[in-house]
Structure 1
Amino acid sequence: MGKIRITKQFNFEAGHALYGYDGKCRNVHGHSYKLSVTVIGTPISDADHVKHGMVIDFGDLKKVVNEEIVDQFDHATIFNKNSPHVELANELSERGHSIILADYQPTSENMVIDFASKIKARLPENIQLHSIKLQETETSFAEWYASDN
């Protein structure tokens, strides 16, 4: 039996600011992100296995992505922890806002690298992360492929 790719899609809302950027995105703003996570593996061939015929249960993949990404990033504001935005982040956090201080500039490109690392660490041994697509707007997205890395 061959390898099969399984994709699950997710949505979350988040804000960010790109410190030092020369355009409008230097201002705090938000997006309705769409995240597609694709894994690859061989369907379980054991007829007695409860997940017979599945590469991975969509519910199991959903649990990993929700815990590692969606639950943390949804309705949060992401700042680069090495920027002056830390002062604003601390004030917002003290007022009860959900803040993520990232080790990187919070672009879609860097977010997919971060997400890939977090998801790969949680997948079963026989399942590989194939790709991630993070759509920031209807016409703009970043993609990460295992084959490129």
Structure 2
Amino acid sequence: MSTIRITKQFTFEAGHALYGYDGKCKNLHGHSYKLFVTVSGVPISDEKNVKYGMVIDFGDLKKIVNEEIVDIFDHATVFNKNTPHLELAQELIDREHHVLLVDYQPTTEMMVIDFAKKIKTRLPENIKLQAIKLQETETSFAEWYASEN
């Protein structure tokens, strides 16, 4: 049987600041992110299986991505844990804001690397993560491809 790729789109809102950056993105700001997750596998051929004909149930993929990414990053403010903005981060936390301190510069490029690692660990053995596209603005996005990593 043929190997098929399927893609599911997700959306979430998040803020961030890029410490040490020499442009506007050094300031705290936010994005309406669009996340596209592409996986591949062979459709289930057992006619008695309730998921017959599916590579993976879109609902199962949704559960993984929501638990690993969307539910964590949605409406969060993301800072590199080494940022000089730790005082600001702590102030936000004290005011019950959702703050994530990550061990990387929270650029779109680094976020897709992080997301790929998280999603790959949760996929069934017969399903392969092929690509992730994270769109930060209408005209700007980063892509991760398994064939290049």
Per the normalisation by structure 2, the TM-score is 0.99
User: C-alpha distance in 2, partners of 1:40/1:87?
Assistant: 43
Residue deviations 1:55-102 (CA, integer Å, cap 9, x gap)? 000000000000000000000000000111122111101110000000
Ranges of 4+ aligned residues in structure 1 off by more than 6 Å: none
Q: How does 1:73-92 map to 2 (within 5 A)?
A: 73-92=73-92
Please state how far the C-alpha of 1:148 moved relative to its aligned partner: 0.3
2:51 maps to which residue? 51
Unaligned runs of 5+ in 1: none
Unaligned runs of 5+ in 2: none
CA RMSD of aligned residues (A): 0.5
Residue deviations 1:86-145 (CA, integer Å, cap 9, x gap)? 221111011100000000000000000000000000000000000000000000000000
Residue deviations 1:7-32 (CA, integer Å, cap 9, x gap)? 00000000000000000000000000
User: C-alpha distance in 1, partners of 2:65/2:108?
Assistant: 17
Residue deviations 1:29-49 (CA, integer Å, cap 9, x gap)? 000000000000000001111
The percentage of aligned residue pairs carrying the same residue is 78
Aligned partner of 2:94: which letter? E
Aligned partner of 2:46: which letter? D
Per the normalisation by structure 1, the TM-score is 0.99
User: C-alpha distance in 1, partners of 2:89/2:41?
Assistant: 40
